[in-house]
Amino acid sequence: MTIESTVTLNTQTATSSDSPPQLVAPESGQIARTASIISLGNVASRVLGLVRESVKSYYFGAGARVDAYNVAVIIPQMLYDLLVGGMVNSSLVPVFSEYTRERRQELWELVSILLSLVMVVLVVCILVIEAFPSQVAFLLSSGKPPDDLALTAQLLRVTAPAVIFLGLSGVLTGVLYALKRFTLPAFTVTIFNASIVIAVLLFGKRLDISSMALGLLAGALLQVAVQLPGLRDARLRFRLTLSHPALRRVAILYLPILLGLVVDVLALRVISYNLASMTGEGGISWMGYATTLAQLPQGLVATAVSLAVLPTLSAQAVHERATGQKEAFQATLARGLRLVIVLIIPATVGLFILAHPTVALLLGHGDFLARDTLITSRALQFYLLGIPFAAVDLLLVYSFYARQDTLTPSLIGVGTIVLNLTTALVLMPSLGLFSLMIADAVKQLAHALVSWVLLRRQVGNLAEHGVAKTLVKTVLASSAMGVVACGALRLVQTVVPGENLIAEGLAVGIPTLLSAVVYLGLITRLHVEEIDMLWLAIHRLAGRA
């Protein structure tokens, strides 16, 4: 499922021109502006994602029903990630991009073939799931009693067909990325989440947890429908063939990713869900709620910046292969890293400090009990330990993709997945559910460090581009911000004690506002260039609005 927004990147395409596509100040502003616009699109989808989780927690809590639903959701998501999702940015966008300028007819032919192949393969997968839903459910939740497995199988029959529309939507998103048409993909996840929320509000009392499954299916269908107008000039038709020359290039680029995803999807996720199911009723639910909240800063920051710079990096990588000049690629990567660092570190620090009141405010109502709030907030804090590394790592992985090197990040991924599982299994007897979150943080740290070392061997040293200096300034400003957030939280909880909506809102709102003012003031006084670019981008966006 995609998170994008609206803007056309006016990047310089690396072709046969004599001069490389240097990243000058105007293009730096374009990246910041693009990331800002994408982030605005992400805000809508993430807010509705939080609404979706709040509605789910209010109506269904964190017990067996939500455990069953989460398993029924993750199975089509796993299929999507394995067969389509991992392909979009790693191979579809780089290959589609080569056809977007002067070979549109060939582009539509390639897209038609991919859509047809995806549909046929996913239909076969769905038929297998529909024939053996209980067995498929058991693979991810073997620790559950028979009644819970039966409910999971029932929900899975509803959610499984969604993978067809998720797959088609993924291909359409790849085309729109390559064409630099970000508007419609920006709304796919928003509509997806809205569909689930509306379904629960309309049918939750009558259909119980099944209403969420129906909303998910409708949302997946709408993801396709909302993107079709963006391809109004396309000439698409059903065509099954394996002879198109670009298919081989897509396969070559995707094969290493597929190998890594096989380990991730069929080993890490399966084992993680089974381990969570063995921690007792609610374990899968707590893990799911914490994951959603932890991914909030990741989606708003890392995804936005990485997607904003991917077209530029891809073009500059082409020019580098032709001329051997790496300066433009280095400059773009460094600016992207600095922008991620400036945004992700304070967001992570703030959410870590305010984890408990945030969970209480967003989820702690209705059937979501005080114990659910406590465990979910603790799990969230453990997840957040790895989020800054995951954010930086996403941009590093996209840099490998831009250079059409999908093997390196795939091999790194396989190694860190082994590390993840080993850590979880070692810590499980003493830490239970929290071992899964700690293991994930260890994985993110290891993946980012190894990716950084190996990418530097390809692109050279980035020392002259100020990444380390920005990191130091950001850590200093974030530390001061964290002290303010802690003090403000204690003061608010002392003055306005209790576990009602007003107290929880103040416990989140006042520390957030004060810490944001402190951080922005300090980071501006420290003359961090990326903050100036962001302010300029936001000002221009406001002017356009």
Helix (H, G, I), strand (E, B) or coil at 543: helix
For 262-268, which contacts have Cβ atoms below 8 Å and span 24 or more sequence positions? Answer: 262/82, 263/413, 263/414, 263/417, 264/81, 264/413, 264/417, 265/78, 265/81, 265/82, 266/82, 267/417, 267/421, 268/417, 268/420, 268/421
Show me where the domains of the chain are located: 64-261
pLDDT number for residue 300: 72
Structure tokens at 327: 């300066």
Q: Please report the DSSP string for 395-440 in residue order.
A: HHHHHHHHTT--HHHHHHHHHHHHHHHHHHHHHHHHHTTHHHHHHH
pLDDT at 506 over 60: yes
Phi-psi region of 331 (alpha: psi -120 to 50; beta: other; left: phi over 0): alpha
What single-letter amino acid sits at 245? P
pLDDT category at 317 given cuts 50, 70, 90 is confident
Q: Which of helix, strand or coil describes residue 41?
A: helix
Q: How far is CA 174 from CA 71, 96, 115, 185, 472, in A?
A: 27, 8, 11, 9, 36
Phi-psi region of 182 (alpha: psi -120 to 50; beta: other; left: phi over 0): alpha
The yes-or-no verdict on residue 264 having pLDDT over 90 is no
Separation CA 141–CA 71 (nearest Å): 7
The whole-number average pLDDT for the span 359-381 is 93
Q: What is the pTM of this model?
A: 0.77
Instruction: Please state the φ and ψ torsions of residue 42, each to the nearest 5 degrees.
Output: -65, -35
Percent of the chain with pLDDT over 90: 49
Question: CA-to-CA distance for 101 and 137, rounded, in angstroms?
Answer: 46
pLDDT tens digits for range 51-92: 999 999 999 998 899 999 999 999 999 999 888 887 876 788
When pLDDT is cut at 50, 70 and 90, the band that residue 333 belongs to is confident
pLDDT digits (tens, 9 = 90+) for 460-482: 887 777 889 999 999 999 999 99
Torsion (CA) 156, 157, 160, 164 in degrees, nearest 10: -170
Band of pLDDT at residue 172, cut at 50, 70 and 90:
very high
| CB environment 478-494: b (16+ within 10 A), e (fewer) | bebbbebbeebbeebbe
> Strand locations in 131-252, DSSP E?
none
Q: Look at residues 162, 93, 104, 17 and name the one whose alpha carbon lies nearest to residue 307.
A: 93
Query: What single-letter amino acid sits at 333?
Result: L
Q: What is the pLDDT of residue 33?
A: 55
What are the distances in angstroms from CA 372 to CA 62, 223, 364, 366, 463? 7, 32, 8, 11, 45
pLDDT digit string (tens) for 106-149?
888 899 999 999 999 999 999 999 999 999 999 888 888 999 99
Q: If we measure between CA atoms, which residue out of 232, 346, 336 comes closest to residue 297?
A: 346
Of residues 154 and 27, more confidence is placed in: 154
Per the CB < 8 A criterion, the answer to whether 287 and 276 are in contact is yes
Residue 13 DSSP one-character state: P
